[in-house]
Amino acid sequence: MANIRRMTKKRLGELLLQEGLINKEHLQTGLEEQEQTGELIGDILVRKGFVTESDVARTISTQFSFPYISVLHYYIAPEMLTLFDLRALERNLFVPIDRFGDVLSVVIAGLLDQDVIDEIERRSECTAQVYVGMVSEVKQVIKEKFARAHVGKHAEAEATPDETQEAMADVTAPPQFSKKRVEKEGSETLDLSEAIMAAGDSMEDIVAEMENTDLSENLAPQQGEQEDTEAAEDAEDTQPEPEDSQEPEATEDVNPEHQKQENAEVLKKAEQDFKQFRYFDNDDQKE
């Protein structure tokens, strides 16, 4: 926690200058563009080619003892994807990746201000545990995972209960039938009964003719065709399906508990690798 507080009082550009990774002209150019765009200074310096992503990550890691992890190869818990506003992630280049009890694991690609840290801990109701990632990787994860999750969340929010009920009513409501109408000369229309009367036949004549008609003769061919169709369908059902169509589709099952255990092991290894990295750095300095 002390390292986080110390981080908020430092400026990345000054640290890179102290490390000899940039010169004063580079820093001045980056600061001037930062005033215009509002981007993080590290992001600007990397984009302009003054430093590499590795330079930025290594400087932050060594200055504040934050372990490095590759966020692209880390399973991010689904509840993390909409925990913070998307604009805050894009503006500050950080992503929450998992929660362990009252500790929230966060990957940063630049230094965060105190108010950002406070907001992270207030919203998550957790203590922030910080790790360092590459600028491009953090940006890619924000775009491919967090932005997509936010789009889905907004789409669900736009479908209000009233609209959902109305849509269901449209689907389940019985069809409404109206009187059949026929075209008359011009744009006027008539009821079917009016058209019959206009043809000169009375309703009694029409009914009498229908009673004298043997409908079974007209239905017989249709029934025969229906039987032939049903027989053909039964024959198709009895044919064996090709072997390829019988293969089950591959599904990807994610076990949350298993993934959380793997995540804990990844973070533990990152911390061990960081300590080993620092140890060898110290040995090199002693020599």
The domain ranges of the chain are 2-159
Tell me the DSSP string of 248-260.
Answer: PPP-----HHHHH
Please provide the CATH number assigned to the domain covering 2-159.
3.30.300.160
Q: What is the pLDDT of residue 211?
A: 58
- Return the pLDDT at 107: 96
Q: If phi over 0 gives left and psi between -120 and 50 gives alpha, with beta otherwise, what is residue 110?
A: beta
Q: Is 139 left (phi over 0), alpha (psi -120 to 50) or beta?
A: alpha
The per-residue pLDDT for 160 is: 54
Q: Residue ranges of the chain with pLDDT lower than 70?
A: 1-2, 153-254, 272-287
The label of the residue with tokens 């102290």 reads 18
Sign of CA dihedral 11, 13, 17, 20: positive
In angstroms, how far is the first alpha carbon of the chain from the final one? 32
Summarised one tens digit per residue, pLDDT across range 259-279 is 777 877 777 777 766 665 553
Q: Are 41 and 50 in contact (CB under 8 A)?
A: no
Can you tell me whether residue 37 is helix, strand or coil?
helix
Distance CA 13, CA 28 (A): 9
Contact 133, 112 (CB under 8 A): no
pTM score above 0.75? no
User: What tokens appear for 57 in the block?
Assistant: 């990550």
